[in-house]
């Protein structure tokens, strides 16, 4: 585990090295509700896959109400191949239904006016919201400092020795990263970690020999030159 004083330096190096390797696209302008729905699609995958699935939904359904009254299977078909697609579809419908029952609309812009903390608190009370989706909305929809972390990103950060504490809550892990990464770089870090987790720092057989982070990575050093597979939980 890196000493606290080194974590910021390692994270800065991660940002610099991965920015040379991957392209980071700007997030398009969306309403607060659209950010929340997109977060459900985006968690645990990449922007490329999530964009494709989200476009599939937008092309298939006329509006948010049509999504609300659709079946899980219809949403799965619209999203196409995506891990845990049925769970995502169920959560999308659940969020729209719960918000509609509370407000008779799909507008969330009002909560944005109440400030980030209040807005985040209200969204987090939705049964189908979770830490990632709330943090995503805070970052993209409420202009706050939050860094949504999903399992692939956490895997990379743990292997790099930046995160520890398997029993720590997601909120606490996120707080650690938010402490070291300034708001302006948060979105870029999230994007780079996702791409890295999907291409080189894969769950099984990470390609450490091709990784620009190898000199800073304890897990990579351990794995280098061996055929051993990393433990999944690292
Ligand atoms: S060196 Fe290996 S384990 Fe470390 S970040 Fe790179 S791919 Fe992942």
Mean pLDDT of all residues belonging to the chain: 90
Q: Are residues 20 and 39 in the same domain?
A: no
CATH of the domain at 156: 1.10.1670.10
Task: For residue 157, give the H/E element and its range.
Answer: helix 151-159
pLDDT band (50, 70, 90) for residue 226: low
Q: pLDDT (tens digit, 9 = 90+) per residue, 36-52?
A: 999 999 999 999 999 99
Q: Which of 82, 115, 140 is the last residue of a domain?
A: 140
Torsion sign across C-alpha atoms 3, 4, 7, 9: negative
> Which residue lies with its CA nearest to atom 2 of ligand 1?
208
Dist CA 43 CA 36 (whole Å): 11
Q: Are residues 19 and 73 in the same domain?
A: no
The residue range of the domain holding 16 is 4-24+148-223
Q: Are residues 136 and 38 in the same domain?
A: yes
- The number of the ligand 1 atom at minimal distance from the alpha carbon of 230 is 3
Q: Which residue, among 136, 98, 104, has the nearest Cα to 119 in the 3D structure?
A: 136
Residues in the ligand 1 pocket, defined by CB under 6 Å = 156, 159-160, 200-201, 206-208, 211, 213-214, 217, 219-220
Decide if 219 is inside a domain: yes
Q: Are residues 132 and 163 in the same domain?
A: no
Q: Which of 140, 158, 179 is the last residue of a domain?
A: 140
Name the residue of 14, 18, 203, 206 to mutate for ligand 1: max ligand atoms within 8 A of Cβ. 206
Q: SS3 of 206, please?
A: coil
Q: Are residues 104 and 168 in the same domain?
A: no
pLDDT band (50, 70, 90) for residue 1: low
pLDDT band (50, 70, 90) for residue 27: confident
Number of domains forming the structure of the chain? 2
Dist CA 112 CA 121 (whole Å): 11
For residues 34-69, one letter each, b for 16 or more C-beta atoms within 10 angstroms of the residue's C-beta and e for the rest, the string is bbbbbbbbbbbbbbebbbbbbebbeeebeebeebbe
Q: SS3 of 177, please?
A: helix
Q: Which residue, among 196, 195, 187, has the nearest Cα to 214 in the 3D structure?
A: 196
Q: Are residues 176 and 201 in the same domain?
A: yes
The pLDDT, as a whole number, for residue 49 is 95
Name the residue of 18, 22, 156 to mutate for ligand 1: max ligand atoms within 8 A of Cβ. 156
CATH of the domain at 121: 1.10.340.30
Q: pLDDT (tens digit, 9 = 90+) per residue, 104-146?
A: 999 998 887 877 888 899 999 999 999 999 999 999 988 889 9
Dist CA 183 CA 165 (whole Å): 24
Q: Are residues 134 and 168 in the same domain?
A: no
């Amino acid at each position: 585990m890196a000493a606290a004083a080194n974590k910021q330096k390692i994270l800065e190096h991660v940002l610099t090295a991965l920015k040379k390797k991957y392209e980071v696209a700007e997030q398009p302008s969306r309403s607060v509700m659209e950010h929340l729905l997109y977060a459900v699609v985006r968690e645990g995958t990449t922007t490329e896959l999530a964009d494709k699935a989200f476009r599939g939904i937008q092309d298939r359904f006329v509006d948010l109400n049509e999504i609300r009254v659709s079946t899980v299977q219809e949403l799965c078909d619209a999203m196409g191949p995506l891990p845990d697609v049925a769970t995502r579809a169920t959560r999308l419908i659940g969020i729209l239904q719960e918000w509609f029952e509370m407000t008779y609309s799909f507008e969330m812009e009002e909560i944005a006016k109440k400030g980030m903390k209040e807005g985040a608190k209200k969204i987090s009370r939705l049964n189908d919201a979770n830490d990632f989706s709330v943090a995503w909305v805070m970052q993209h929809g409420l202009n706050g400092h939050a860094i949504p972390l999903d399992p692939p990103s956490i895997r990379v950060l743990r292997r790099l020795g930046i995160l520890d504490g398997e029993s720590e809550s997601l909120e606490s892990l996120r707080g650690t990263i938010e402490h070291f990464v300034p708001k302006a770089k948060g979105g870029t870090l999230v994007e780079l970690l996702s791409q890295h987790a999907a291409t080189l720092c894969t769950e099984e057989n990470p390609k450490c020999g091709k990784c620009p982070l190898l000199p800073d990575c304890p897990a990579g050093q351990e794995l280098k030159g061996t055929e051993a597979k990393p433990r999944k939980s690292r």
